[in-house]
Amino acid sequence: MAEGDASEATPRPTRRRATTTRKATSATATTRLRRPVASADVDDAAASGTTRGSAGEYGAVENGQVESTPYVETPPAAAAVPPPPTAAAPPPLAPLVGQPARSVAPESSPVRRAIGSPALILAIIALVIGILAGGFTAYYEYTRPATYRSSAVMLIDQPATLSASADVGVVTKLSQLRIKYVGIVKTQVFAQPVADQTGLPVGLVLHSLTATADPTSLLVLISSTTKDPAQAHTIAEAAANELTTYVKTEQDAAGIPQRRQITFSTATPATNAVRVTPDRSRAKLVGLFVFIAITLVGFLGADLLRRRRRG
């Protein structure tokens, strides 16, 4: 036991001497200028032989000895703060069971909305219909069967009384009497004798005859219009003769003396028949009138529809 104790106690003085030798060597070593070592220099220190102690110090190795140097850690540079994340839009709600998902129609441009407007469509339709109707009417007016007219001018007079009168009373009376006989021309009583003279149907004669009174004179115009120019001239000539005969017969039946009777005389005999329809100018005017009427009605309807949709 004594020998074992002695063998175990032998190496202890040797360690003490080694420690003493290291301390002596450290005391004689060159004193180094110590500086704080930053955390960024850790790798450099490790590469140059510097070690870090357990107490947060670095030691420089010189001549095989470790020299402790206090470690001062510098604060790190301020890092850039990232911007806060933007809030994401909430997901769309799922449609309820049994209900179809609503679809958002894309917004149309103003030009497309104007083109698809019912008011504009109605206006365009009215314009097209007006053009077609006006053109068809003008074409019909110009291509329908031609008609011819012959006229005779009659003068109402009362020679004896008118020459002895000192005022306009007689003229006024004669002017008013013209209206009476203008109306008689369009009656069956007048047309029947004319039909008998010409040998034409009384209906044709009655339909063709017209009479007008000139407001500025004592003249009466009797006209006949038919599809045959010869018939028109014959009827107008017979009607002028019949008016003269009718007025005389009426006054003779009333017992009016010959000197005081009213007479109708032929101022202008029946003229040769001239074509009155179709007339190019009249056909254009009629077609234009139809076009304007239909287009105006269509535009008014389109404007009314537009106001109702906005309201």
Extents of the domains making up the chain: 36-69, 118-139+281-310, 146-273
Summarize pLDDT for 95-122 with one digit per residue, the tens.
555 555 565 555 556 656 656 677 788 8
Sign of CA dihedral 270, 276, 281, 285: positive
- What is the predicted pLDDT for the residue at 191? 96
Summarize pLDDT for 3-35 with one digit per residue, the tens.
444 444 444 544 444 444 444 444 444 444 444
Q: Which residues contact 224 (CB under 8 A, 6 or more apart)?
A: 149, 150, 151, 205, 208, 209, 210, 231, 232, 233, 234, 235, 236, 239, 270
- What is the predicted pLDDT for the residue at 54? 43
Model confidence band, residue 123 (pLDDT cutoffs 50, 70, 90): confident
Residue 59 has pLDDT above 60, yes or no: no
Question: Is the CB of residue 73 less than 8 Å from the CB of residue 38?
Answer: yes
**Residues, the chain:** 311
Asked if the 146-273 domain carries CATH number 3.30.1890.10, the reply is yes
Phi, psi at 70, each rounded to 5°: -65, 140
Residue 311 has pLDDT above 90, yes or no: no
Q: Quote the tokens at residue 5.
A: 């104790």
Question: Is the CB of residue 290 less than 8 Å from the CB of residue 130?
Answer: yes
Cis ω before 278 (30° cut-off from 0): yes
Average pLDDT across the chain, whole number: 76
Nearest alpha-carbon partner for 306 in 56, 154, 150, 121: 121
